Amino acid sequence: MRVLVLHQYFLEENDPGGSRWNEMTKTWSDKGHEIIVIGGMMHANGSEKLPQYKKKYFVKNKQGKIDVLRCHVSESYNSGFAGRLLGYFSFMFSSLWGGLFKTEGKFDVIIVTSPPLFIGITGYLLSKIKRVPMVFEVRDLWPESAIDTGVLTNKFIIKLAFGIEAFLYKKSKLINVLTPAFQKTLLNQKNVSSDKLILIPNAADFTLSEDIMQTFDRDGFRKENDLDSYFVITYVGAHGVANHLEQLLYAGKKLEDTNVLFLLIGQGMEKKRLMELSIEISNTNIRFLDSVPKKDVFKYIIASDMGASVLKNVETFKTVYSNKTFDYFSCKKPILMAIDGVSRKLVEEANAGVFVEPENSEDFNKIIRKYLNNPELVLEQGENGYNFAKNNFDRAILAEKYIKHIEGLIYEKN
């Protein structure tokens, strides 16, 4: 089967960040499918194009067996909301051009993963022109999440976004959602037929974590990185408005009489402000690190005592699974879950961590002290999460399930 994937944030090799589609496409290509990806030239948290893309609009390269076409994204992407919209629309047009004139041969299916929502327009037009079905994936409920976090306020753009969303759901032959809450929302509030919906969630990459754990010198790594005297709670991911990471800074203030260290790894438009805030409130147990390649992310997680999953306390985020949660599972780390809803339910069902009320620094303080006094609980819940994810959220198994749904769609079409 020949598959075209449209994903603005498809990672470069060794890029930091959520690698769901890099791992998914690798699994499919290893099974003999031909995968072509159209991706953007800007990282989700980057401020400029990589040097190899400067002054270029289209660049073809290979990632293993996967053909990747990088298309232009405006460098104003992280310069505010207007810049972000320009980034979305520039990729929408460049990816359409790339799909029409920079890719060769016929495809069996086009898969679009969103957000951003607007790439769905490219997917729809390509599917009509090339006469192949479109599969649409919902990684986040947009525009709801942008509205709830205060990023999207313009009434015209909100109305336009809801209209595009409804249109894309109608025109898609299959819609994948990443959480049961998304599935419920699309069925009950968006009037999407259950016949179109499948649920292939985020998952854990055990191939990487198990490979590292076999040979990793945890104690040596902790000493080398000045972590050995601390109870390390690591957050890995975006430093953006939606993540509201100041709650970790304020939690840190209440724990300064302990050996707790919050390790924040990643980039984002809020990082500079967060670092300035940390200095302003005189944090002594917060450490910021820049993004690192995925294999190094796993080393930091394995060297930690707990992992933190954190989002702003808004209704929409009660519907999401956090990518990083599955990385913590695969590395046998209990999770400090500051996201209510389905993410909370996931961790409680696995008995692999604890729910902390988002933006409540006193709740963070009380709960973390409980773990400090109970090292056996840290080990037990880490093992619980690993086993739970191994049985229910193994990426290799879910990738196979996903492609079988798509093969069924192709078979039905023919």
CB-facing half-sphere around the CA of 367: CA atoms within 13 A: 21
Average per-residue pLDDT for the chain:
92
Reported confidence tier of residue 268, pLDDT bands at 50, 70, 90? confident
> How far from each other are the two terminal CA atoms of the chain, in whole angstroms?
13
Name beta bridge partners: 63: 66
Q: At 272, is the pLDDT very low, low, confident or very high (cuts 50, 70, 90)?
A: very high
- Helix (H) and strand (E) counts for the chain? 16, 14
List CB contacts of 406: < 8 A, sequence separation 6 or more.
1, 3, 109, 111, 135, 174
Residues 385, 143: Cα–Cα separation, whole Å: 32
Q: Is the predicted pLDDT of residue 232 greater than 70, yes or no?
A: yes
Instruction: Using the structure block, give the residue that is written with the tokens 């022109």.
Output: 129
Top-confidence residue, 76 or 36: 36
Distance of alpha carbon 32 from alpha carbon 154, whole angstroms: 46
Strand (E) or helix (H) holding 388: helix 375-392
What burial class does residue 143 get, using C-beta atoms within 10 Å of its C-beta: 0-12 exposed, 13-18 middle, 19+ buried? buried
Mean pLDDT computed over 101-119: 94
Distance between CA 336 and CA 344 in Å, rounded? 10
Structure tokens at 269: 């438009």
- For the record, the structure tokens of 31 come out as 């099974």
- Structural domains of the chain sorted by starting position, each given as residue range(s) with its CATH number in brackets: 2-203+394-413 (3.40.50.2000), 206-392 (3.40.50.2000)
pLDDT at residue 34, as a whole number: 97
The whole-angstrom separation of Cα 238 and Cα 244 is 10
* Packed helices 294-302 and 323-330: angle between N→C axes, nearest 10 degrees: 60
Top-confidence residue, 50 or 125: 125
The contacts of residue 84 (CB under 8 Å, 6+ apart) are 77, 78, 151
pLDDT of residue 414: 58
Give me the mean pLDDT over the 342-351 stretch. 96
Q: What is the pLDDT of residues 247-264, one digit of tens each?
A: 999 999 999 999 999 999
Q: Cα separation of 82 and 154, whole Å?
A: 11
Specify whether the CB–CB gap between 313 and 244 falls below 8 A. yes
Pairing mode of beta strands 66-71, 58-63: antiparallel
Q: Is the pLDDT of residue 413 over 70?
A: no
**265: which strand partners?**
236, 289
Q: How many residues does the chain have?
A: 414
**Residue 17: per-residue pLDDT:** 63
**Euclidean distance between CA atoms 352 and 195, whole angstroms:** 33
For 28-73, what is each residue's pLDDT tens digit? 999 999 999 999 998 766 667 888 899 999 999 999 999 999 999 9
d(CA 9, CA 43) in angstroms, rounded, equals 6
What are the pLDDT digits (tens) for 137-155? 999 888 888 888 777 888 8
Of 371, 410, 361, nearest to 246 by C-alpha is 361
Q: Read off the pLDDT of residues 199-228 as tens digits, 9 standing for 90 and up.
A: 999 988 888 888 899 999 999 999 999 999
Q: Please answer whether residues 363 and 345 qualify as being in contact, where contact means their C-beta atoms are separated by less than 8 angstroms.
A: no
Query: What is the rounded distance in angstroms from the CA atom of residue 17 to the CA atom of residue 265?
Result: 10
pLDDT of residue 13: 81
pLDDT per position as a tens digit, 155-184: 888 899 999 999 999 999 999 999 999 999
> What DSSP string runs through 40-107?
ESS-TT-SS--GGGTT-SEEEEEETTEEEEEE---TTTTSSHHHHHHHHHHHHHHHHHHHHHS--S--
Q: Which two tokens stand for residue 296?
A: 């190094």
Banded pLDDT at 375 (limits 50, 70, 90): very high
Question: Can you give the pLDDT at residue 86?
Answer: 87
* C-alpha–C-alpha distance, residues 43 and 25, integer Å: 18
Supply 250's token pair: 């304020």
CA torsion, ordered 139, 141, 142, 145, to nearest 10 deg:
-110
DSSP sequence for 334-380: -EEEE--THHHHHHHHHT-EEE--TT-HHHHHHHHHHHHT-HHHHHH
Please report which confidence band the pLDDT of residue 82 belongs to, taking 50, 70 and 90 as the band edges: confident
Q: What is the mean pLDDT of residues 280-293?
A: 95
Whose CA is closest to 301, among 278, 260, 334?
Answer: 334
Residue with tokens 């006193």: 362
